[in-house]
């Protein structure tokens, strides 16, 4: 089911950002280019509001920022590998270079939580994040994620 939402055009390699705010601006802008239902300013504000509730760093140099928006009819995923790690203000002081942005309709809380949970379980595995960093094209990254067995991630 994750592969339905992780399409090649939803994967960005070598995203060049300087800090967390710049990251959220770039993710918002690029998301609005891919999905015309997404307003980049609303998405940016939604990500910031979510981040104020707690840091979305999940470990292994990966973060899972998210937002729930009124005007988005379907779940949207944007996966990014940064050119260089950035300070994500995590408690363990580890920097981030793998980003999975999840945007969902405001009314789809259970689906939103389902995707957050699954992407989080995948990205918490050292072996998976190592493989992701070794990918150089959308197909290889999609294969790494979709071939991971969620049942083994519990």
pTM to 2 decimal places: 0.92
- Encode the chain (154 residues) as per-residue pLDDT tens digits: 566 778 889 999 999 999 999 999 999 999 999 999 999 999 999 999 999 999 999 999 999 999 999 989 999 999 999 999 999 998 888 899 999 999 999 999 999 999 999 999 999 999 999 999 999 999 999 999 888 765 444 4
* pLDDT at res. 19: 97
Domain segments of the chain as ranges: 2-148
Report the CATH fold assignment for 2-148: Mannitol-specific EII; Chain A (3.40.930)
* pLDDT at res. 91: 83
Among 88, 98, 92, 68, CA closest to 21: 88
């Amino acid at each position: 089911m994750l592969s339905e939402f992780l399409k090649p055009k939803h994967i960005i390699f070598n995203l060049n950002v300087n800090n967390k705010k710049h990251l959220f601006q770039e993710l918002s802008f690029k998301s609005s280019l891919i999905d015309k239902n997404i307003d980049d300013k609303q998405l940016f504000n939604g990500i910031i509001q979510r981040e104020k509730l707690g840091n979305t760093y999940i470990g292994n140099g990966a973060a899972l920022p998210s937002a729930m928006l009124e005007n988005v009819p379907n779940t949207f995923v944007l996966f990014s590998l940064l050119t260089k790690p950035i300070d994500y203000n995590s408690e363990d002081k580890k920097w981030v270079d793998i980003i999975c942005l999840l945007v969902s309709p405001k009314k789809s809380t259970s689906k939103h939580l389902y995707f957050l949970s699954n992407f989080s379980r995948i990205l918490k595995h050292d072996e998976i994040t190592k493989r992701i960093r070794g990918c150089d094209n959308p197909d290889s990254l999609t294969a790494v994620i979709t071939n991971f067995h969620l049942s083994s991630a519990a």
